[in-house]
Structure 1
Amino acid sequence: MKYDLVVIGGGPAGLMAALQAAEKGRQVLLLEKNKRLGVKLLLAGGGRCNITNNIPDYRVLAKSYGPAAKFLIPIFSRFGVSEIMDFFASRGVRLKTEADNKVFPESNLAADILGVFVRDIKAAGGIIRTECEVKDFVVQDNLIKKLILSSGEEISAARFLIATGGQSYPATGSSGDAYRWLKNLGHTIMPLYPGLAPILVNNSKVKELEGLSLNNVSLSLLAANKKLAVEQGAVIFTASGLSGPAALNLSRFLDFNQHQTFELRLDFQPEITLEDLDKLLILLFSKDNKFVKNSLEEIIPARLAVFILNTSGINENLKSKVISRSQRKKILESIKDFKLTIINFSGYDRAMVTVGGLSLEEVNAKSMSSKIISNLYLAGEVLDIAGPTGGFNLQVAWSTGFIAGSN
């Protein structure tokens, strides 16, 4: 049997594409190499599935993706946040918006999101096959004629869509197969590295802060004395560095292919200027019979206060009123501009996304079709797009899958 469309990859982008095509009356086959569909989708948002981030303005939404913004604007204008929320609501999934505009199903069950696609693809006549691993393609006259499974089976179709994701969370079956296929088909793959992953630093003393969670820290990333990115939000100290939303988002810019070393600067009080914080410290330290540690605890957590004093070479049991001007300046600098050197980030096993991927220059944003292979379409994480944490990367999967499946 020759299909109208074969979708490779049963993740969010592939599921959306298969459903759109099937509901338009196309003969659709969805192939997934795992035993079940949507393995990574079921893990999203801690199993609750953070389906998107509630930013209705598609232009504002697109800016969250950095250099990919221009490519995404026409895509989000056709199928953005409002459309995906309406999509699920119309199919019986009630949604809720939580802190930081994160959108979840009211049930808090990722399985409810996956269930929509399984039910509706089958209802539209689409065929789903699991445990089908694609090994290669047969190409003739700039067209894919058929694909070959690891079993040796050959499958023909008028069109093929690759939505196999990246290399993050390899335990879920994400092995980056598509990058090899696409290279062989003549496409350009931009440098790959883990994104939305914990950051590792060279200061062993941060282990003293392990487990400390701070709600509002500004992180600045520098390389060769040039500021590359700034993220502000929650961070969590680990035994070897930092995690939490702000640190994870910053990791998207850690391209060691371009820079050998990165400097990280932390501002533990981003809402107050350096000058105003200095005035506040003068006031706090003027109080009689208080240890400097206790004075600092009025503006930062106790563990952080002790850490800053220790790294500044100041005895935490000194009385505040005897702190010298130079000591106060050291404390001030440590609070507003604490410096760490980044040595690496956690690997793909702990990364939420893969940064890099198929060059957007080789994809038509209006149809998600390849500019190299006439009957090939692309969607999802295989593309050179990486958004911040909080539902942004699932939105790209839904949107690109919708456009690809609709064409």
Structure 2
Amino acid sequence: MINTLPARHRPVSDSDQKRPRLLVAGGGPAGLMAAGQAALAGVDVVVLEKMPRPGRKLCITGKGRCNLTNVAPLPDFLGHFGPTGSFLRQAFHRFFTPELLGFFEDLGLTTITERGGRVFPASGKAPEVLAALERWLRQCGVTIRGGHAIERVCLKDGRVTGVRCAGGETLAGDALILATGGASYPLTGSTGDGYSLAEAAGHHVVPIRPALVPLLTAGSATGRMSDLQLRNILVRLFIDGKKRAEAFGELTFTEDGLGGPVILTLSSRIVDTLVEGRTVVLLLDLKPALDEHKLDARLRRDFEHRRLEPISSVLRGLLPKEMVPVALEESGLTTERLAGTIRSEERKRLRHWLKNFRLTVTGHRPLAEAIVTAGGIDTREVDPRTMASRLVRGLYFAGEMLDVQADTGGYNLQAAFSTGWLAGRSAAASLLADMEA
């Protein structure tokens, strides 16, 4: 069983007033988990959330279904975070997928595991996750103050003494966990405030940029197929003419480019590559289950059997109707050509397009539309065993603020819960040890 409730309930006494106070900046998944864990350990916890209520971004994750985590084993899980993933090893060893699922089970939240190992609440409703967390925090005795944006971390002799809020109110605290999230989806309160607070306290911030973000492409082809969703597509990424990665899954055509899970998976690397001024091309294999030989045999058979029909009608057996005009145009064929008149070299051009639909990437959607913020607090300045700052005593970090990010599939939310769990436990342990010293 996961310890989700205070071990005992007792009347407030004078000694309670002397309990160390932990301030938690941010009411997202990392901040809420940190707050509850610290309260369980016996410290006074106040969550300061700039929005009227906590958890607004949590409620839109996973398209409103809240992809809590993934059941992938730890080595595979860490691999989804790229070079900075090793920083999370300590946190995951302490609180990982089994512990998170047990935690929510104790809170009465049933989960289901879907394709790709992704875990969701069985109801498919993200607000139920938030409601369970809020009930737990009330039972733990955590105070949540909405409408409290922090404008400065108060320090004395290199140690946290509290925070100054917008409007001038100063709140004393013996320690502070910064869990204010990234800079994507600003309407949820995730506006990157924590980065400037950390920098003012002496920390370095790796330049932030969008991760898991739709891409912009040259030409008008995608706009002509806007909102069309495709499944089982293989996308190959070429940088300066050399293949660098590939991904298989679902994609969506947009007015100005591409979106969908397979594109989001590749987007982080593409964003960084574009900053370097390099050429990025995506080749879409629309028929990955058929090699060139089998696809050619399929085309020859269809064109022969339906030789007196327009090729546009015949291609409807291979492509959605929105794609047919684009396929013909880019293959140099006209809509009304009869299938039986298509020559060998024309069929070859069409076959090549079906296996190599080429799109040049010109940019990406803004950070505000990204699912995750890349960059953030330099992890070299944070102790991975505790999430404590190596520069400022009494300062801790958790969640998306840290320079660790993964692709889609529940990995980022697990990282938020795990780092929040570790930061809350560590901060409480340090505060209580100081009190007893």
TM-score tier, shorter chain, comes to over 0.9
Alpha-carbon separation, structure 2, partners of 1:41 and 1:218: 30
Give the Cα–Cα distance (whole angstroms) in 2 for the partners of residues 125 and 215 of structure 1: 47
Instruction: Verify: 1:250 aligned to 2:266, yes or no.
Output: yes
* Paired residue secondary structure (2:247): strand
Q: Following the alignment from structure 2 to structure 1, what is the Cα–Cα distance between the partners of residues 41 and 321?
A: 60
Q: What CA distance in whole angstroms lies between the structure 2 residues aligned with 1:286 and 1:99? A: 39
8 Å CA contact retained: 2:162, 2:175: no
The answer for the alignment partner of 1:75 in structure 2 is 91
Larger radius of gyration between Structure 1 and Structure 2: 2
How much has 1:260 moved relative to structure 2? 4.9
**1:379 and 2:398 correspond:** yes
Contact 2:182 2:192 in 1 (8 A): yes
Q: Offset at 1:230?
A: 2.1
**Are residues 1:294 and 2:313 paired?**
yes
C-alpha distance in 1, partners of 2:57/2:79? 25
Q: Tell whether the 8 Å contact from 1:74 to 1:365 is kept in structure 2 after alignment.
A: yes
Runs of 4 or more above 4 Å deviation: none
- Distance change >3 Å, CA 7–CA 13, structure 1 → 2: same
In the TM superposition, what whole-angstrom CA distance separates every residue of 1:225-253 from its partner, at most 9, and x where no partner exists? 34343221111111111111112222222
Residue number in structure 2 paired with 1:284: 302
Within a 5 Å distance, the mapping from 1:136-285 to structure 2 comes to 136-253=152-269, 254-255=271-272, 256-285=274-303
CA–CA separation in structure 2 for the residues paired with 1:69 and 1:270: 31
Amino acid paired to 1:357: G
Whether the 8 Å CA contact 1:16–1:401 is kept in 2: the answer is yes
Shift of 1:70: 1.7
Unaligned runs of 5+ in 2: 1-16, 427-437
Residue 308 of structure 1: which of 327, 340, 350 is its match?
327
Judge which range, 24-33 or 191-200, deviates more.
Answer: 191-200
Q: 364-373 or 281-290: which moved more? A: 281-290
Counterpart check, 1:95 vs 2:101: no
> Retained in 2: the 8 A contact 1:353–1:386?
yes
Q: Secondary structure, in 3 states, of the residue corresponding to 1:286?
A: helix
Q: What is the match of residue 358 of structure 1?
A: 377
C-alpha distance in 2, partners of 1:266/1:187? 42
**2:413 aligns with one of 384, 394, 405:** 394
Of 279-288 and 22-31, more deviation after overlay is shown by: 279-288
- SS of 1:84 mapped into structure 2: helix
Please say if 1:117 is aligned against 2:136: no
Residues 277 and 371 of structure 1, relative CA distance in 2, 3 Å threshold: farther
CA displacement 1:41-64 (0-9 Å, x = unmatched): 122223332212232x11111111
Identity among equivalent positions (%) equals 36
Name the counterpart of 2:13. Answer: none
Where does structure 1 lack aligned partners over 5 or more consecutive residues? none
Asked whether the 8 Å contact 2:154–2:162 carries over to 1, the reply is yes
Contact map agreement 2:240 2:278 (CA 8 A) in 1? no
Please list the CA deviations of residues 126-172 of structure 1 after superposition, one character each: whole Å capped at 9, or x if unmatched: 22111111111223333222221112222232221100001111111
Q: Is the contact made by 1:170 and 1:348 (CA closer than 8 Å) also made in structure 2?
A: no
| Cα drift, residue 261 of structure 1 | 4.1
1:39 is matched with which residue: 42, 56, 66? 56
Matched residues in 2 for 1:358 and 1:274: separation? 47
Q: RMSD value over aligned CA atoms?
A: 2.0
TM-score normalised by L of structure 2: 0.87
Q: Distance in 1 between matches of 2:84 and 2:288?
A: 28
Q: How far apart, in 1, do the equivalents of 2:383 and 2:304 lie?
A: 64
Match of 1:331 in 2: 350
Q: Are the counterparts in 1 of residues 23 and 177 from structure 2 also a CA contact under 8 Å?
A: yes
C-alpha distance in structure 2 between counterparts of 1:159 and 1:232, whole Å: 45
The normalised TM-score by structure 1 is 0.93
CA distance in structure 1 between the aligned counterparts of 2:413 and 2:383, rounded to whole angstroms: 20
Amino acid at match of 1:364: D
Q: Take 2:55 and 2:153, find their aligned partners in 1: how far apart are those partners?
A: 24
After alignment, is 306-315 or 160-169 more displaced? 306-315
Q: Which amino acid aligns with 2:137?
A: I
